[in-house]
Structure 1
Amino acid sequence: MSNKGALALLADYEGNSSDEEAPSRCFSTKRLHRDEENEDIRIKRVTKLPAPNFIINNPEEVVDDPSLHDGRIRSFAHERGNWVTYAYIPYESNEGLQRLMSLVTRMALLEDIELKGFQDLHLSLTRTVILRYHWIDSFVSTLRDNLSHFTKFIIMLDHLEVYTNEEKTRTFIGLQVKTGYDTLLKLVHCLDNCLGDFKLPKFYENPSFHISIAWCLGDNTDKLKSLLPYLNRDLELLMSEYSQENWYTYVEQILCKTGNKIFQFQLQ
């Protein structure tokens, strides 16, 4: 603790206790007074000091506030030392996808659903798991070793589908992958083995690889699925209007985000 911090803490204590009750130790103390006439020992108990303001105002427990992130609810309770982790393929947004997002959000309003578009597009290769802080270096090293033999490949996007998360608290509209499926399966199998080494849950069986472009709160699967025929018809028109580069990506790296850290794994 710096000198300024120590002085601030001392001032906080002094502001909550009287001058005559200042203790000489950090635990509950007793002060002795000797009466000069009868030499009797009198014991005066000191009132326990209140906690400093910085402790009161900064409790260790973190309470989730959905209003800070568009009403989304944490799938995992916050716990010190636990890092939310997942592996994915980044997908750079473009003009064609932005047009599609705008079209999808407007169409959803017909069912009184307010969709929100994603800023950072990606294709998930693992579930969202909890990684202990002291595992991070070992986990990243394991991923690097196992992903080192994969080569670059192309994924192309096809049609729109509707998805929900496991808790049914959010619904998504995403673009399904048309090509690159076999390579994605091999990547998932490789990552599943890495997760298994750390006793972490594997990816979903028979995965539907996709890139989510918009989401809403709650389970609105049926309403959004009723719009799919119209949305996919409009998607075909957009695909003919915008060049093919808007609808595919050349996968050159896998990313792993754990907490606020992002690790890159370049493909051959």
Structure 2
Amino acid sequence: MSRSALHVLRMFKEQEEQEAPPDESEKHGGRLRTFPHERGNWATHVYMPYVAEEDFQGLLQALLCCARTYVPSLSPLPEFHISLSQVVVLRYHWIAPFVQSLKERLRSVSRFICRADQVKVYTNQTKTRTFLGLEVSSGYSKLSELVSEVDKVMEEFSLATFYKDPSFHLSLAWGLGDLSEALGGQRLQELQETVDGFEDSSSFLRIPGTEVRCKSGNKFFSFPLR
């Protein structure tokens, strides 16, 4: 076994039966889990992080001010990222080899820049949540390259791969229920005009692709790109 593999395995000396802390809906604005919590199951997600600076937060507040004219209950998300996988379930003893496989797959991917500046409204598959997001308008091919590598890892563990022809995006805010009609049409155009007219938005909406992260339960792993 390689030294790097041993290093990853050393991070997981806890017993296999260790349990990921369950999500409590009352602590998350009433959002419900996509799948029921079971002992030994760890919800796992692979994504590219985006650290929001002051200018971005200013744009977010401007978008919320506009969107809340139609949907007062819309709430900002505490952090931002571009998803590279669906949320999947790992057994505890799978986490170490899963992380090691991700590390090996992603080590050859080079850094890049993408841009997310197209306002779009998304709903989850069950239509119980709606998200206001910024869709990627450039850098799609590099994000697809990342997804291709992540998908190979998912296939190794017989897990669901990412969506076909995905809409890569930053989710900014969310609300309960299907709010796509309330935020669509002319309202969506108003939100796009807010982005287009915001000072220096073309600069701070350039997203540096320098690392990929994986969250599994309460554990976080980082994979710097080359």
TM-score range, shorter chain: 0.7 to 0.9
> Quick one: which of 104, 128, 145 aligns to 1:186?
145
Question: Which deviations, in whole Å up to 9, do the C-alpha atoms of 1:28-67 show, x marking residues without a partner?
Answer: xxxxxxxxxxxxxxxxxxxxxxxxxxxxxxxx9x987522
Displacement of 1:123 in angstroms is 0.4
Cα contact 1:113–1:216 (8 A) shared by 2 = no
**What TM-score, normalized to structure 1?**
0.73
Q: Distance in 2 between matches of 1:67 and 1:123?
A: 25
Higher relative contact order (CA 8 A, sep 6+): 2
2:8 counterpart of 1:81? no
The one-letter amino acid of 2:206's match is: Y
What are the residue-to-residue correspondences of 1:115-130 with 2, within 5 Å? Answer: 115-130=74-89
Q: Distance in 2 between matches of 1:122 and 1:139?
A: 21
**What TM-score, normalized to structure 2?**
0.86
Which secondary structure does the structure 2 equivalent of 1:194 belong to? Answer: helix
Q: Distance in 2 between matches of 1:199 and 1:93?
A: 34
Which secondary structure does the structure 2 equivalent of 1:223 belong to? Answer: coil
Which secondary structure does the structure 2 equivalent of 1:221 belong to? Answer: coil
Q: Distance in 2 between matches of 1:154 and 1:118?
A: 23
2:73 counterpart of 1:114? yes
2:172 counterpart of 1:213? yes
2:221 counterpart of 1:263? yes
Displacement of 1:167 in angstroms is 1.7
Match of 1:163 in 2: 122
Evaluate the alpha carbon distance shift between residue 175 and residue 139 of structure 1 in structure 2; reply closer, same or farther with a 3 A threshold.
Answer: same
2:214 counterpart of 1:252? no
Q: Distance in 1 between matches of 2:171 and 2:22?
A: 28
Q: Hey, which bits of structure 1, 4+ residues long, moved more than 6 A?
A: none
Match of 1:66 in 2: 25
Which runs of no fewer than 5 residues in structure 2 stay unpaired?
1-18
The alignment-based identity, stated in percent, is 41
Aligned length: 206
Question: Which deviations, in whole Å up to 9, do the C-alpha atoms of 1:57-81 show, x marking residues without a partner?
Answer: xxx9x98752221010111111110
Match of 1:132 in 2: 91
Q: Distance in 1 between matches of 2:220 and 2:195?
A: 32
Whichever of the two has the greater Rg, that structure is 1
Which runs of no fewer than 5 residues in structure 1 stay unpaired?
1-59
